[in-house]
């Protein structure tokens, strides 16, 4: 796993711990809208990489798709040749849950979309729409360069209550404390 994947899993783990702390142990039956909490915890996990001597990341929550899209193709290709290009954007304009940039804030690195626990049928459509939008970031190009995005992510919680025994759930809850 790369460092972004490690940070995503750590952020999701932190979210479960925080949710148990805030709502109590019966999180399976009371789990409601943890998406923002997960988004913040994942962003905080990524921020742990911002220590010397590593290059710092800029982490933006609820970033405009157009702002991120325009930073997928290196800006220097525009500066060298002084070409004017159309702005890039995805077909589904909106907000990205987490956008990560290099410290110059001009170079996009990755995007992370976060979804709620066990996406419902309606939420699954949004999940598929996010996957399609994430795929578009790879396709941007101009006359001089192409997208530098190598990975995008969609993170969500999935629970399989029918496959878990109550003592296993309690063991996980105890380990999360």
What is the DSSP secondary-structure string of 2-66?
-HHHHHHHHHHHHHHHHHHHHH-S-HHHH----HHHHHHHHHHHHHTT--TTSPPEEEEEEEEHH
Assess whether pLDDT exceeds 90 at residue 69. Answer: no
More confident residue, 3 or 175: 3
Residue that has been written with the tokens 């629970």 in this structure: 159
Cβ 159 vs Cβ 172: under 8 Å: no
> What is the reported pLDDT for 112?
96
* pLDDT category of residue 77 using cuts at 50, 70 and 90: very low
Mean pLDDT of 82-97: 73
> What is the reported pLDDT for 38?
92
> What is the reported pLDDT for 32?
61
Assess whether pLDDT exceeds 60 at residue 138. Answer: yes
The dihedral through the CA atoms of 66, 64, 109, 8 has a sign that is negative
């Amino acid at each position: 796993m790369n460092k972004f994947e490690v940070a995503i899993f750590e952020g999701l783990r932190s979210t479960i711990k925080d949710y148990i702390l805030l709502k109590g142990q019966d999180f399976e039956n009371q789990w409601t809208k943890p998406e923002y909490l997960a988004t913040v915890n994942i962003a905080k996990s990524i921020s742990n990489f911002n220590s010397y001597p590593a290059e710092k990341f800029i982490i933006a929550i609820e970033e405009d798709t157009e702002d991120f899209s325009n930073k997928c193709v290196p800006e220097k290709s525009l500066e060298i040749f002084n070409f004017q290009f159309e702005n890039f954007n995805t077909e589904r304009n909106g907000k990205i849950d987490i956008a990560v940039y290099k410290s110059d804030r001009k170079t996009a690195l990755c995007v992370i979309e976060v979804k709620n626990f066990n996406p419902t049928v309606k939420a699954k459509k949004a999940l598929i729409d996010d996957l399609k939008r994430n795929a578009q970031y790879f396709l941007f190009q101009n006359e001089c360069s192409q997208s530098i995005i190598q990975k995008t992510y969609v993170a969500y919680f999935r629970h399989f209550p029918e496959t878990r025994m109550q003592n296993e759930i309690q063991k996980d809850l105890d380990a999360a404390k």
